[in-house]
Amino acid sequence: MKGVSFLRLAAISAFAAGIAFAGTSHAGVAEGKKIFDSKNCGGCHQVAGPAKEKSIEDQLAKKAPELWYAGSKFKKEFLEKWLKDPKPIRPMEYYSLTKKNAGNHPKLDGKNADEVADYLMSLTSADAKKAGIAPKGGPQGRIIFEKKQGCYGCHEVSKGGSTVGGLTGPTMIGIGDRLQPDWIYAYLTNPKVFKPVKDMPTYEGVLSESDLKILAEYVSSLK
């Protein structure tokens, strides 16, 4: 009986701890949304899906990246760190070909950054399905990235200790620490769900499913 009572007590304690943890998490999301709204972050960032842009004019009118699938796209550790000390991800201003990114995004203190990160991680898309993509470098991915598609024509990468590549897209330096591998694959396979109007090529019919997975694995390995 004592053993049964002990096990029952342990189970009740674990259940209660789970409720407390869930409550803390829920509270963090709620507080993060309050902070997000109080700073009018929604004035620049779209947080309700699906994508609304229907023309290039709609896309060019956007002030900042959409965040309605942030929890499917980003790693939480990255968001917490970035919100505390924002560094430009795009070398140029959002959808500008002439103005460099000034890197003047507002900073948040530690607690606020963590709670806003909690909120952003709650924003997910069912179209970013789990695909089991794991970071993996290697010649196959590099050949698709560099030779077949020439991705560094628009994106910065680190190569041989130097930064090379174009400036019109987000940098791929540090992308492995920033983005979830499964989201990279989801975006490559079905980009119009996330960005109906875009400059990136559509790979359907161009790359096989196997090549897309290899490319996603390679991109998610970039540091």
CATH architecture of 22-121: Orthogonal Bundle (1.10)
Share above pLDDT 90 across residues of the chain, in percent, rounded to a whole number: 73
Domains 22-121 and 139-219 share a fold: yes
Mean pLDDT taken over the chain: 88
User: pLDDT category, 119, cuts 50, 70, 90?
Assistant: very high
pTM for this predicted structure = 0.84
pLDDT of res. 96: 83
> What are the sequence ranges of the domains in the chain?
22-121, 139-219
pLDDT of res. 10: 41
Structure tokens at 126: 């069912």
CATH of domain 139-219: 1.10.760.10
